[in-house]
Structure 1
């Protein structure tokens, strides 16, 4: 109970200090909005697509089998009804030439023995080659390519199941192979129907369909920067003499840290929620109540995790100036590896694992999915795990600081 009393006293004190700085708080909240808003406006003006231009994707078939030829033909035909998307079958030499001439955004290579390996359940990877001079278009089409790969994996899983039970029922090898091939082609064409691919292509055009993509990413950056700026504003006035006096009264570092997390988190959450509501209203996006709650959970977790990281760095480094610089560097890493400045597709492939376990990437990804694509689901496992790890670190460091090990 005593620690809770101290936490509430610190929260009230932080709010009181901010009230005395009533000119500083609006500056903290508005300055990132103005700066990032200008950047969004410039990006949305420069990086715009002509609706008459089609995004072209090539298919290169290096497998001589009839099965792969059917797959490639099905893929090429599935994009005919998708507005703004063109999938064509080309040779590898023609694809390279079209990449050099900037007439092809990317091409997918089906390697030799692709179908044969898939039928046996062996790993058979598609190779995707992008155009370095058309990076934005490559990002736009990336989810369509992901859809192709995902459907192929799903089809492979289904035919392997059929193959397993066909063996158990004693079917001849020839009959079993014919059944597998027919089922594979049937399922693959079904999941890659025109409507399905059109829907995925529509989702892929987040970055090109309007300014909302840039606005959502800007919103994410703004609320992350707010955490840093508000934390610095609250910590700047705390002197070492004040900390010594607090120790005399039995105030623990844990109470101070939790109060700072709650003060920063609550203020930034309220500001972010209001700003998000304004963005949704401005964009004419009407979300269901359950999706608004999902957004609030994602924003809350991101803000509180970031606030805890700021305090952990502050406790690890004795100098306020050094910790401020390190906090800024970490903040930039959080924003960068969320994919809000540079999309994930432009990073080296060996960083994919890092993205997969980055809480800010998961947060931004699902915020985009809910706002831009109307998804009615979300995943927060990485965010929950990161929150737990940060909380444990906060507790351990507070104990070490009490015992003067830090």
Structure 2
């Protein structure tokens, strides 16, 4: 009964050990150019400067003799050999064989390099077909040899750049779900956003004090309007909340050892401030329109719950029903949490403040307008 557990544990240990070793010691690959043409020189230079596997794969140019010596010294996993007449065969439509010489002591890594070269060979075949087609029609148009060669070389360059950068372009377009790819960071950020929003709500409620009719009359005699009291509470709550929120999120970044661009700290504070202002104006708007204090508190709690649910801090937005996903991007809580996630977890160096600023402007206009209308009705 223990054998399956032992077997799974052994396989897991081998995989972890192999991946760790690859991360510590990148795979070294040699590039040998026997053709010595402009095209192959450019191919090798681009392969040296770019890497399909990031830090896990390094390529470097060697002579054939140097590559053989490196293989014997176990300093190379394999070397890729570009044969003589590579460019001429490419342009003439002949079959091209790119040889991979592996290290007998590194069979697994050598097989990985072979798979990568096979993938590159398919791109070479595609580019060769297009080059031959262009070359054929160029001959039909009686274009001089020099111009035709320039056109063919340009086509070769385009397909080469496509083959080299293909995987990098796709990586930039991959839609990642931080809730599953980096759950610790994502749910830590979600918990921080949840706590921060609850702090705003709590501080705002603590500053509220129900006034008797006598106190209200006295405040009116002193010229203190209800709108001024609301704005004062919003300013004090905003100041305290931003300070606490900044400390909370800076602590979160430090504890999880996240590296973010130094300019993103200013963006972080700006997003916290805009979220605070929007949320406070929503609470003030409810306070202005709902007269019963108990009903007012109930509505504020319900709205706070809806905003937190829509933000993705309780349940990731991607798991919400599709009909909700169409509308939640219009909510400021979703925008604030989304851009916090982008700059902290996805290392973005910009944030879109326009939706948050528009929401703040509309909320402020409605709150001030309704408060002034309420004051006029009372007087």
Please report the TM-score for the alignment, with normalisation by the length of structure 1: 0.51
**SS of match in other structure, 1:264:** helix
Name the structure 1 match of 2:349.
376
CA deviations over 1:46-78 (Å, ceiling 9, x no partner): xxxx9989xxxxxxxxxxxxxxxxxxxxxxxxx
Name the structure 2 match of 1:252.
225
State whether structure 2 residue 218 is matched by structure 1 residue 270: no
Alignment of 1:6-45 (within 5 A): none
Name the structure 2 match of 1:227.
200
CA change 1:382–1:191 in 2 (3 A) is: farther
Question: For 1:217, which of 190, 200, 204 is the aligned residue?
Answer: 190
State whether structure 2 residue 312 is matched by structure 1 residue 312: no
CA deviations over 1:155-180 (Å, ceiling 9, x no partner): xxxxxxxxxxxxxxxxxxxxxxxxxx
Shift, 1:284, TM fit: 1.0
CA distance in 2, matches of 1:381, 1:330: 22
Shift, 1:267, TM fit: 0.7
CA distance in 1, matches of 2:163, 2:307: 40
Shift, 1:197, TM fit: 3.6
Question: For 1:288, which of 258, 261, 264 is the aligned residue?
Answer: 261
**SS of match in other structure, 1:382:** helix
Shift, 1:186, TM fit: 6.9
Q: Is the 8 A contact 1:253 1:398 kept in 2?
A: yes
Name the structure 2 match of 1:299.
272
Question: For 1:385, which of 343, 358, 364 is the aligned residue?
Answer: 358
State whether structure 2 residue 334 is matched by structure 1 residue 348: no
CA change 1:215–1:268 in 2 (3 A) is: same
CA distance in 1, matches of 2:205, 2:160: 56
CA change 1:188–1:367 in 2 (3 A) is: farther
| Structure 2, gaps ≥5 residues long | 1-11, 17-51, 55-154
Superposed CA RMSD:
3.3
**SS of match in other structure, 2:291:** coil
CA distance in 2, matches of 1:239, 1:187: 79
Name the structure 1 match of 2:299.
326
Name the structure 2 match of 1:129.
none
Shift, 1:195, TM fit: 2.9
Q: Is the 8 A contact 1:206 1:372 kept in 2?
A: no
Q: How many residue pairs align between the two structures? A: 231
Name the structure 2 match of 1:360.
333
CA change 1:259–1:357 in 2 (3 A) is: same
CA distance in 2, matches of 1:236, 1:221: 25
Shift, 1:237, TM fit: 5.2
Shift, 1:318, TM fit: 1.0
**SS of match in other structure, 1:250:** coil
CA change 1:356–1:279 in 2 (3 A) is: same
Q: Which has the larger radius of gyration?
A: 2
| Structure 1, gaps ≥5 residues long | 1-49, 54-79, 83-181
CA change 1:262–1:191 in 2 (3 A) is: farther
**SS of match in other structure, 2:327:** helix
Please report the TM-score for the alignment, with normalisation by the length of structure 2: 0.55
Q: Is the 8 A contact 1:81 1:198 kept in 2?
A: no
Alignment of 1:20-169 (within 5 A): none
Name the structure 1 match of 2:308.
335
